Structure formats: C-alpha cells, structure tokens
Amino acid sequence: MNIFRLAGDMTHLASVLVLLLKIHTIKSCAGVSLKTQELYALVFATRYLDIFVSYYSVYNTLMKLIFLGSSFSIVWYIRHHRIVRRSYDKDQDTFRHLFLLLPCLLLALVINEKFTFREVMWAFSIYLEAVAILPQLVLLQRTRNIDNLTGQYVVLLG
C-alpha cells in the first residue's frame, strides 16, 4: 500500500467525518457549500464506476463505498433533511459550479490514459476534484463566518 494514498484517504475520510459530525449533531449546514458537495458526489460517482466489476482489495472497495455513501448522504442532508435544509444559505452559495464540468470533461477527453469510457470518466473525476473545492472557498470568502468544524473540514479536505 502506498503511504501517500493512505494518508490522502485518511485525511479525506477525516474531513468527511468532521462534516457529517457537524451536520448530524448540530443539525446545521451553515457555511457548507451544497455545490461543492454535489461536485464531490459526482467526482466519486465517476471515479468509482468499476466498483461492481473490478475487485482490488477489501480496503479499496471499502473506501470506495465510504466515499460514495458519505458524499451522497451529505448532499441528501443538505437538500432534503427537514431541519438541516433550513440552515443552507442558497443566496450565499452562488458559485456557478456547472461551468466547471465542461472544461473538466473536455480535458478528460483530450488527456487520458486510454480512450475508453471508464478511463475518460476517471480522468474527468481527477480534473473535477482539483476544482471542486472552489464553491466552498468562495462561500467562506463571502460569508466570512467560519465556525470551527467547517474550518477543520476545509483544512482536512485540502
């Protein structure tokens, strides 16, 4: 196992756990960008298309399931949970995140390891992950109100 991959997985896992802890215990998503969370859900959905057809290890499969499940559960909490969704500030979270998709897709179509659907989607997920944090950073810059758990989430995510 690559130590850098393990470190990256663990810091990302810690960031997601901090965010889920905040949302679940405080019942608030204030300061959290839904658009960033949607981008991360798309990142993991396109990166892990092979989850049901290729097996590498228990660790790999488990981390894929955790990242997919946590990403989609965060989006669900912010969009649909009757208490949490009230704390989402749609007026501040105005970054046009859909404009990030086309450049990332075009880049993936041009720069990929092998021109197959799964490889292009994997490359797309890599390029999208590089910019997925932008809506969160813009939201934090606009609101200038960063609580402790949101700050820890962003630091661990970076």
114 exposure class (CB count in 10 Å sphere: 0-12, 13-18, 19+): exposed
Neighbours of 33 (CB within 10 A): 27
Q: What's the pLDDT band for 100 if we cut at 50, 70, 90?
A: very high
Task: Looking at 48-100, list the stretches that DSSP marks H as alpha helix, in order from N- to C-terminal side.
Answer: 58-80
Task: Please tell me the predicted confidence (pLDDT) of residue 91.
Answer: 93
Task: Please tell me the predicted confidence (pLDDT) of residue 114.
Answer: 93
Q: Is the pLDDT of residue 68 over 90?
A: yes
Task: Please tell me the predicted confidence (pLDDT) of residue 151.
Answer: 73
**Of 25, 65, 29, nearest in space to 45 by CA:** 65
| pTM reported for the whole predicted model | 0.91
CA distances from 96 to 34, 48, 49, 61, 93 (A): 12, 25, 26, 32, 9
Cα 119 from chain centroid (whole Å): 20
Average pLDDT of span 102-113: 96
Contacts of 122 (CB under 8 A, 6+ apart): 46, 47, 49, 112
Task: Please tell me the predicted confidence (pLDDT) of residue 52.
Answer: 82
**Of 158, 154, 156, nearest in space to 11 by CA:** 156
Q: Is the pLDDT of residue 153 over 80?
A: no
What is the residue-averaged pLDDT of the chain?
Answer: 91
